[in-house]
Structures are given as structure tokens and as C-alpha cells.
Amino acid sequence: MTDKPTTASAGKTLAILGGIICIIGTALTFDAGSSNIMAEIGIPLLSAVLFFAISGELNVNGSMKRGAMAFLCFLNIAVLAFGTIYGTMELYLGAVLILLAVGVLALSTSSGTYRWIQADRI
């Protein structure tokens, strides 16, 4: 069993923090009288699910490869950018979440994390 690098731990922490902020942002921007309530709830919750999926894959028993994690990170950045531009979340909240997603991307695709993913983690 190889030791978990600090970049993987930091990426996991940022991903959990991003998921929690997405859920809090969904609660703060909720408007029951809106006509597009599914988009206002669905886009931030989709981003939260992607954050939590990346966090779970940075666990010791995660099975995802580096390319799949990078794809999820880029997908999350695209969802957050779309949600910010479309107006389902506040501009500052979207900017903070996009920065967190970029940080998770950088940490989850670093060379130390890549060597740890390729090694036998069990």
C-alpha cells in the first residue's frame, strides 16, 4: 500500500468543500416562484454531485483513472460556467466554485496523484 500524497488529500478536501458550497448556494438562490425551477436547482446540484464524485475517487479505494477524473473536472467547470452565465447562481458564487473546480483539476491530475492512482492503493 502506498502512502497517499498531500495533493490527493488537498484535492479531496477542495472537492468536498466545493460540493458543500454548491448545496448551500442552491439553498440561498432558491426562488419558489420561478418558472425555471428545475434549472435553478438542477445545475448547482449536478455540480455538487460531480464535486462529490471526484472526492470519492480520490479515496484509497477509488477506481477511476486520471483521464476520467480530468474529464469530470472539466465537465464540472463547464456546468459551473453555464450555470453562472445562465443565471442560476450568483456571479461571485459561480466564480468561487469555478476557482475551486480548477484547483481540484490541478490537484487531481498532478504527477504525485497520478503515480498514486497507478499504484496498488489497497
Residue 1 lies in a domain: no
Helix, strand, coil percentages in the chain from 3-state DSSP, rounded to 5? 75, 0, 25
Range in 6-10, 27-31, 52-56, 75-79 the model is least confident about:
27-31
Please report the pLDDT score of residue 20 as a whole number: 95
Q: How far is CA 97 from the centre of its chain?
A: 8
Q: Decide: 72 and 53 in contact? Cβ < 8 Å.
A: yes
Q: pLDDT tens-digit profile of 6-34?
A: 888 899 999 999 999 999 988 887 777 77
Residue type at 97? L
Residue 101 lies in a domain: yes
Residue 35 lies in a domain: yes
Residue 64 lies in a domain: yes
The total of structural domains in the chain comes to 1
Q: Kindly tell me if the per-residue pLDDT of 121 is higher than 70.
A: no
Report pTM.
Answer: 0.89
Give the range of the structural domain holding residue 87, as residue numbers without chain letter. Answer: 6-118
What count of other Cβ atoms lies within 10 Å of the Cβ of residue 64? 17
Q: Decide: 92 and 80 in contact? Cβ < 8 Å.
A: no
2 confidence band (pLDDT: 50, 70, 90):
low
Q: Kindly tell me if the per-residue pLDDT of 122 is higher than 70.
A: no
d(CA 44, CA 26): 6
Residue 18 lies in a domain: yes
Q: In the numeric block, which cell numbers belong to residue 75?
A: 465537465
d(CA 41, CA 25): 10
